[in-house]
Structure 1
Amino acid sequence: MTRRQGHPLARIIRELRSPAYYLGLALVAATVAFTFVAPQILRFFQAHLGQELAFFTVSDPFLAQVRLAVGLALFSLVPFFTYWFWKAMAGPFGLTRTTRAWFVGFCCLLFYGGTMFCFFVTLPLGVNFLLGYQSEELQAVIAVGKFVSFVTVFVLAFGFIAMLPIFMIFGAKTRLCSRRKFESGRGYAVLIITIIAALITPTPDVVNLSFMAGPMYLLYESGIIIIKLLKIE
């Protein structure tokens, strides 16, 4: 690599510097816009998960709706984030326009598929399991702020994690990490996946950890299978 080209990481940072400003403005604008519909969406979340919410300070409802608006803004802007990310990666790693388009398309597909699966399948199972420990003497009082943080972090994290096979394909295609290394590194993958799941899971219990780590490992194995089907060594 020539001095003029520079380190790949430096080139990626330069490529992302300009769109970061506009994406930041878009995130702020989208957050403001979603603030107006956040109460209705919060009611939908409550109805979907069957939860009655409470608040303990006068600012809790407003702050909860702002957090929800930020989460919705991130959710809606994922196609733009992925487009600019892969555009920045194209130069240093020699990705063709076609490859970049496939990566953007499948990242969005996996992200939204992962968030929908989490919201309609994994999240209700986790909530029902955890609240199954309440009794007549011990009833749950769920704060609206904690509820919003739990739902948004869990769902968005699930969506981003669903992109794992794409990054594995990218690593194999650019020879950063071969399929054989992915196969021989399963033990390390389990350890790293467990640590990541523990860090991003909103609650520290084993149940939510398994709901996050289990699908992550299945995605890891599916990435190996896809790399093998694409005949990338």
Structure 2
Amino acid sequence: MKQHYTNIVLFLAELRKSLRLAAFSLLALTVALFFLSADLIGAFQQHLHERLYFFSVAEPFLAHVKVAFFAAVCLLMPLFMHILWQALGKPFGVTGKKLFWFTLATCALFYVGALFCCLVTLPYGASFLLGFQSEHLKPHIAIGSFVNFVAIFVLAFGLIFELPVFMVFSAQTGALSQQFYAKNRRFAILAIAILAALLTPTPDVVNMLLMGGPLYLLYEAGILVIRLLRIDRQ
């Protein structure tokens, strides 16, 4: 218990060293992308085939700022992951090539998850939700709500797809084992189902499966990688 507490303290100390770099990079790129935010909004609007409106004076400006910020977060994800894994690596004894592969795998899975959300989940979810319009009920989507809706789900899918990397890391550090993940598979399925219900834009079974299915496969992939690499210490 004391060792885990010490590792957490060291992790936070290492992370604090790089916070200024991360914050400055995020601010600078957000400012730069602000001038491209109109094109980004137009691309998503065309992708989802919906017109957007605003209902307050400041809403368009704030929407452009949000788009620039979330786009900057996505583009800077390799930097953020590098900082995170550098901070995690020292106290938990993960360095060198292992640290490089953890960083690379995390970034790759983030972008795969974000792309999957953009190409599959978001179009289907938006189509399902807007399918309830009728002659007496027409959609007028506020640009602020649209930006929040898209950004939250894209980032959520990207982060959730990183599950197997952190499973492997937990086995590498000895925190959890391959046997633990295999033994608690049914609880993982329940957690995945709840998470899919909470994060997917629509409550129907198909859309939940679009998230829960890949997430369960990633869970099994994490168990398989731990077994193949024989990094389980317990």
Whether these two folds match at TM > 0.5 is yes
What amino acid does structure 2 have at the position aligned with 1:121? Answer: V
The answer on 1:15 being equivalent to 2:14 is yes
Could you tell me the TM-score, scaled by structure 2's length?
0.90
Cα displacement (A) at 1:209: 4.9
The answer on 1:139 being equivalent to 2:150 is no
Cα displacement (A) at 1:152: 0.7
Query: Where do residues 102-181 of structure 1 align in structure 2 (5 Å cutoff)?
Result: 102-181=101-180
Gap regions ≥5 residues in structure 2: none
Cα displacement (A) at 1:204: 6.9
Counterpart of 1:98 in structure 2 is 97
Counterpart of 1:222 in structure 2 is 221
The whole-number CA distance in structure 1 between the counterparts of 2:153 and 2:104 is: 23
The answer on 1:205 being equivalent to 2:194 is no
Counterpart of 1:38 in structure 2 is 37
Could you tell me the TM-score, scaled by structure 1's length?
0.90
Task: Pick closer, same or farther for the CA change 1:210–1:150 going to 2, 3 Å.
Answer: farther
Cα displacement (A) at 1:137: 2.6
What amino acid does structure 1 have at the position aligned with 2:113? Answer: G
Counterpart of 2:26 in structure 1 is 27
Cα displacement (A) at 1:31: 1.1
What amino acid does structure 1 have at the position aligned with 2:203? Answer: D
**Greater mean alpha carbon deviation, residues 94-103 or residues 182-191:** 182-191
Counterpart of 1:191 in structure 2 is 190
Deviations 1:37-77 (CA, angstroms, capped at 9, x unpaired):
10111001000110111111111111111111110010011
Cα displacement (A) at 1:184: 1.2
Cα displacement (A) at 1:212: 3.5
What amino acid does structure 1 have at the position aligned with 2:182? Answer: E
Deviations 1:71-130 (CA, angstroms, capped at 9, x unpaired):
001001110111111111111111131000001111111111111121112211111122
What amino acid does structure 2 have at the position aligned with 1:100? Answer: L
Cα displacement (A) at 1:230: 2.2
The whole-number CA distance in structure 2 between the counterparts of 1:212 and 1:38 is: 28
Contact 1:153–1:202 (Cα < 8 Å) also in 2: no
Cα displacement (A) at 1:140: 1.6
Q: Aligned to 2:76, what secondary structure does the other structure show?
A: helix
Contact 2:37–2:68 (Cα < 8 Å) also in 1: yes
Counterpart of 2:81 in structure 1 is 82
Gap regions ≥5 residues in structure 1: none
Contact 1:179–1:232 (Cα < 8 Å) also in 2: no
Cα displacement (A) at 1:186: 1.7
The whole-number CA distance in structure 2 between the counterparts of 1:91 and 1:29 is: 28
The whole-number CA distance in structure 2 between the counterparts of 1:202 and 1:25 is: 32
Q: Aligned to 2:18, what secondary structure does the other structure show?
A: helix
Cα displacement (A) at 1:220: 1.3
Contact 1:183–1:224 (Cα < 8 Å) also in 2: yes
Q: How many residues align?
A: 231
Deviations 1:158-199 (CA, angstroms, capped at 9, x unpaired):
111111110011111222111111011123223333444455
What amino acid does structure 1 have at the position aligned with 2:172? Answer: K
Cα displacement (A) at 1:16: 0.7
What amino acid does structure 2 have at the position aligned with 1:79? Answer: P
Q: Aligned to 2:50, what secondary structure does the other structure show?
A: coil
